[in-house]
Amino acid sequence: MKDPQRIHTPLTGEICEHLRAGDRILLSGSVITGRDTAHRRLAQAISEGKPLPVDLDGETIFYAAPTPPRPGRVIGSIGPTTSCRMDEFAPVLMKAGIRGMIGKGERSAAVREAIARHKAVYFGAMGGIAALMSACVKKAEVIAYEDLGPEAIMRLEIEDFPLIVINDTEGGDLYEGAPGRRSMDPGSADHRK
């Protein structure tokens, strides 16, 4: 296996253009969290032309809701949720500036196409190793939608967070040809939100 590349946020179109599906990455810098309900709210605010609680320009969003920290800890356990539930909102968010996405599992054709168009990237984080990943988070604070509890938007400072590029700007896809791949495409009866 090739050694992982170290990358720092904010991600740019140029950084993303150099990433290829299958590349292992250690990501450092600032990212925001956001999952189901936060996505719905952000997309709704965008469609209504309302101000957003966080500037999405150049941001990397991590589909995650951590466990609460024990006293004295920065954060509890943290890891990715299944990304396909964010598929209906992801193209809108990329248009609003989101450059990087971190989650797990496969994306729809529309999202893969938007990643290429917006020179963005979708990283996979391993699911179910959240205690291990906790140590990569150096700072965490809630910055929006506090009422959502664990689903609130947080800003995280991460260091050497282990990721793998799943979808790149050239249409490269780690899951291409993999069993089940086509099941997530729009129009399929198996497409789950």
Partner 1 sequence: MSAIREIPCDKITDTVADLFIGASTDLGEDVLSAVREAARSEGTALGRYALEKIMENAKVAQDEGLPLCQDTGLAVVFVEVGQDVHVTGGDFSEAVQEGVRRAYRDGFLRKSVCDPITRANTGDNTPAVIHTEIVPGDAMRIIAMPKGGGSENMSSSVMLLPSAGQEGIRRHIVEAVRKAGPNPCPPTIIGVGIGGSIEKSALLAKKALARPVGEPNRSDPRLSQLERETLEEINALGIGPQGYGGRTTALAVHVEMMPCHIASLPVTVNIQCHVARHKEAVI
Q: How many CB atoms lie within 10 A of CB 130?
A: 18
Interaction of residue 39 with partner 1, rule CB under 8 A? no
Stretches 73-81, 92-100, 109-117, 138-146: which one binds partner 1 (CB under 8 A)?
73-81
18's CB contacts (< 8 A; 6+ apart) are none
Interaction of residue 185 with partner 1, rule CB under 8 A? no
Q: Which of 13, 149, 171, 186 binds partner 1 (CB under 8 A)?
A: 149
Q: Using CB under 8 A as the criterion, what x/- string covers residues 90-129 for binding partner 1?
A: --------------xxx-----------------x-xxxx
Encoded tokens for 51: 């101000």
Interaction of residue 62 with partner 1, rule CB under 8 A? no
Strand duo 24-33 + 153-167: pairing: antiparallel
Q: Which of 69, 74, 109, 159 binds partner 1 (CB under 8 A)?
A: 69
Q: How far apart are CA 139 and CA 116, in angstroms?
A: 31
Nearer to partner 1, 30 or 82 (CB): 82
The secondary element (H helix, E strand) that includes residue 122 is strand 121-124
Q: Which of 44, 50, 55, 68 binds partner 1 (CB under 8 A)?
A: 68
Q: Which of 78, 98, 114, 136 binds partner 1 (CB under 8 A)?
A: 78
Q: How far apart are CA 113 and CA 71, in angstroms?
A: 43
Stretches 7-15, 47-55, 153-161, 171-179: which one binds partner 1 (CB under 8 A)?
171-179
**Residue 182 has what DSSP assignment?**
G
**Residue 104 has what DSSP assignment?**
B
Contact 10, 99 (CB under 8 A): yes
**Residue 47 has what DSSP assignment?**
H
Nearer to partner 1, 132 or 143 (CB): 132
Output the DSSP codes for 136-153.
TEEEEEEEE-GGGGGGSE
**Would you tell me which residues interact with partner 1 (CB under 8 A)?**
1, 36-37, 64-70, 76-79, 81-82, 84, 104-106, 124, 126-132, 134-135, 148-151, 164, 174-175, 178-181, 183-184, 190, 192
